[in-house]
Amino acid sequence: MSEKLNNARTSAFAENLRTIGYALLIALVIRAFFFQPFNIPSGSMIPTLLIGDYLFVAKYSYGYSKHSLPFSPPIFDGRILARQPHRGDVVVFKVPTDNRTDFIKRLIGLPGDEIQMKHGVLYINGTAVPRVRVEDFVRRDEFGNVQRIPQYRETLPGGVSYTTLDLIDESVTDNTGVYVVPPDHYFMMGDNRDNSNDSRVQSVVGYVPFENLVGKAETIFFSTDGSAHFWEVWRWPSAIRWNRILTWVD
């Protein structure tokens, strides 16, 4: 009797292990080939993305490279089922300076484009990108003081429109030389123009190879303002940004 009981326990244990293994395999496949969750730790994409946003990135948007897989194993070069990104996409990519760190920025420049900033205005191929002043972005700083930051509605060639912030007049990155985007590379910029390490900072990001694109940001599935700790369940309702949940990333 005890032998049958031990066999039953062993069989149940083995079945549980198989179930866990299948679940992990399914999760890995979904993460590698379909959707991967990311959270926003910095303010470089404000106002489009806020610190504390959690979003899904579509891994299939541009095809697959080694960076589509966890830890970027060097099992092949280039991309499989490659699809070209579009100007204006919000993209997660591996920073080419280390090929490990995930950044999220907006794709501004395509291969062959000439990109320049003049007095805070973006120029693409010698033409100023139209921008219109809109209502200020309002937030509270760490001391509770209200800040009003100038916002601009910018519209890229092709029609993609989004909002940028202008924190500092004539900042270092408000005036640049001309960047010529190499073949099979892209030029990325944050929407929070004066608080973003992006392709304008060549030593940090520079031009991003096609192979380094991880996927396109699609949907915000959760968002919290950080005012409640994980264990402070009673404060969760006030900390959650309900109006951002299940919204598309423009």
Q: Which residues are catalytic?
A: 44, 105
Cis peptide before 150 (omega within 30 of 0): no
| Closest by CA position to 174, among listed 236, 116, 135, 117 | 117
Q: Measure Cα distances from 180 to 17, 130, 185, 211 in Å.
A: 53, 20, 10, 19
> Rounded to 5 degrees, what are φ and ψ at 235?
-100, -5
Q: How far apart are CA 210 and CA 113, in angstroms?
A: 15
Q: Please report where in the chains the tokens 């640049």 appear, as a residue.
A: 176
To the nearest 10°, the Cα dihedral for 61, 65, 71, 75? 160
Separation of alpha carbons 150 and 174, rounded Å:
14
